[in-house]
Structure 1
Amino acid sequence: MSGRIPSPFFIQDTSEKTLVGDILFPFAYDELLCGKVGEGSAPFVHIWRHEKAVVLGLRDRRLPNVEQAMEWLRLHGYQVGVRNTGGAAVSLDPGVVNVSIVMPNPPGKLEFKDDFELMYALVRESLSKLGLDAAKGEVAGSYCPGEYDVSVGGRKLCGISQRRRANAFIVNAFVNAEGHAIRRGELIRSFYEVATGGRAEPDVPDVRPETMATLAELGGPGATVRTFVGAVVETLKQWGGTVGRHPDKPSMRELEEMAATLRSRYDTRSGDA
């Protein structure tokens, strides 16, 4: 499966410390680098964690009571943001590892599933290093459900979403490594109850928390945030990647401006795009 991220590419692992503050900062970082990668800069893979956040999908922001639901999350101490990729709401905390692949989009390429397959291959190969056999396919009852849910033993531990631009793309994955997957599911289910006012809405997942799991639950004591990140980095190095910060990393001012742009474009408090 190696060779599909064009070399040279960089592996930027900031997961040793969890991010705090604006949840849109890592998405702004990826968006800025996506623009630079589209102009010819090197591809990169970004590995990160956040202290406490809920990230909504674009379809979630259209729910009738979404602003009340977002405020409810903030009152419970969660950073809240709307990401510019597909998918639906996910819960982030120190036990969740986020992985982004940012790489060029060749002219004339139309098969978007290749990008999902690339991330699935990365997660599957990394999990195999921990002795886990992953499968793909939608897990009914999970949050952020999709065709490329990654599961072990029928329980979902990873979801994948995508953001495409003219000359480059971002494919994201969240991986429940440690912590309480069922509690995350309960949180997202409660968010939807508030956001819908308890009414049936199209495209709202019927979240059943017991369908979710963590690596620690499925793989035993050897499966942790640290061992999973190590397996991801090892896999990427085998694919030809180099560990280190991207040479074209954006400045703090650029990050702040892009985060503000993303929030004004996608956050319902500031209007629809």
Structure 2
Amino acid sequence: MKDWQNFFNDKKIRMIDHSDPASLGTAIASFAVDDTLCESVGRTSDSVACRFWVHDNTVVLGIIDSRLPHLAEAVAFLQKEGFKAVVRNSGGLAVVLDRGVLNFSLILPDSKEMGIHSGYELMTAFVQEMYRDVTDQIEAFEVTGSYCPGDYDLSIGGKKFAGISQRRVKNGIAVQIYLCIEGSGQARADLVREFYVRGQAAFDERFDYPVVEPDTMRSLADLVGVPLTVEDGKRRVLDLLGDWYEQDITAAELPVFEKRMKQMVDRNEKAFK
């Protein structure tokens, strides 16, 4: 699935822009929207969706993070630092969102050609092409010491600036990436490191939480020495997609969104009670 161009050639591409943090208000809604789009795209074979999302200071936790021995103390620390905490409905561990981080989701129909690694490989190749004019050094492998480490961490010179996750819902696949484009990747990593310290992750014998080393993380702008921005990242995505049409959540999709939103709210209430 590294040949992303051929994958998009025969598809109708729907674009949704939620990059204004005020558009959804909370990151909880972003995961509900992606699930909604999975259901819509999953009913087709010739359409995909791409959605931008940006949120103000938020730490998105994985399910395992919500089981930290001292979660309340860890969340209180984040709140003191001016960050909200939400629990997502997909795998992975804690990541930091702010206005220097561009998230975008590629929502794809499931098919025989979309194996477990296909979505990750497609997104990796797509991002490599996005920034081909500024670097050819983007690699995908697990960066030990980063937050939310995984096989498809994107890095330059061993310094991570992005991570990819994948969620499958009702014959649709949401491939989600967070791109730390601007700001300090080290400061974001230091926040997550302290979150785990306050939550006493090291004393939990059930799960292996990452030991975050802030020096493993950077922003893409810092790594390439070019003043890249979130807006520039959006433009690069749209330029690669070519022909697309813009359509936000429709009235027909609203009941599905409301159901998915309730599930997310219930999940978070249960996690933080």
Task: Please give the TM-score of this superposition, normalised by the length of structure 2.
Answer: 0.87
Q: Please tell me the root mean square deviation across aligned C-alpha atoms, in Å.
A: 2.5
Residue in 1 that maps onto 2:203? 199
CA distance in 2, matches of 1:204, 1:236: 37
CA distance in 2, matches of 1:249, 1:79: 29
- 1:160 and 2:164 matched: yes
Q: Secondary structure at the match of 2:199?
A: helix
Distance 1:13 1:21, change over 3 A: closer
Map 1:61-100 onto structure 2 (within 5 A).
Answer: 61-100=66-105
Distance 1:258 1:183, change over 3 A: same
Amino acid at match of 2:167: R
Residue in 2 that maps onto 1:37? 41
Distance 1:155 1:141, change over 3 A: same
Amino acid at match of 1:77: G
Structure 1 alignment gaps of length 5 or more: none
For residue 22 of structure 1, report the CA deviation from its aligned partner: 2.0
CA distance in 2, matches of 1:22, 1:253: 19
Amino acid at match of 2:181: A
Q: Secondary structure at the match of 2:244?
A: strand
Contact 1:87 1:161 in 2 (8 A): yes
Residue in 1 that maps onto 2:6? 3
Aligned mate of 1:245, from 240, 244, 247 = 247
For residue 181 of structure 1, report the CA deviation from its aligned partner: 0.8
Aligned mate of 1:259, from 254, 258, 261 = 261
String of CA shifts for 1:44-81, please: whole Å, max 9, x gaps.
01112111101011221222222432243234332221
For residue 253 of structure 1, report the CA deviation from its aligned partner: 7.1
For residue 191 of structure 1, report the CA deviation from its aligned partner: 1.0
Give aligned pairs, total: 266
Contact 2:13 2:49 in 1 (8 A): yes
For residue 43 of structure 1, report the CA deviation from its aligned partner: 1.7
String of CA shifts for 1:21-43, please: whole Å, max 9, x gaps.
32211111111111111223832
String of CA shifts for 1:117-155, please: whole Å, max 9, x gaps.
111111111121333531110111110100000011211
CA distance in 1, matches of 2:132, 2:113: 30
For residue 243 of structure 1, report the CA deviation from its aligned partner: 4.2
Q: Secondary structure at the match of 1:85?
A: coil
- 1:124 and 2:128 matched: yes
Distance 1:9 1:128, change over 3 A: same
Distance 1:244 1:134, change over 3 A: same
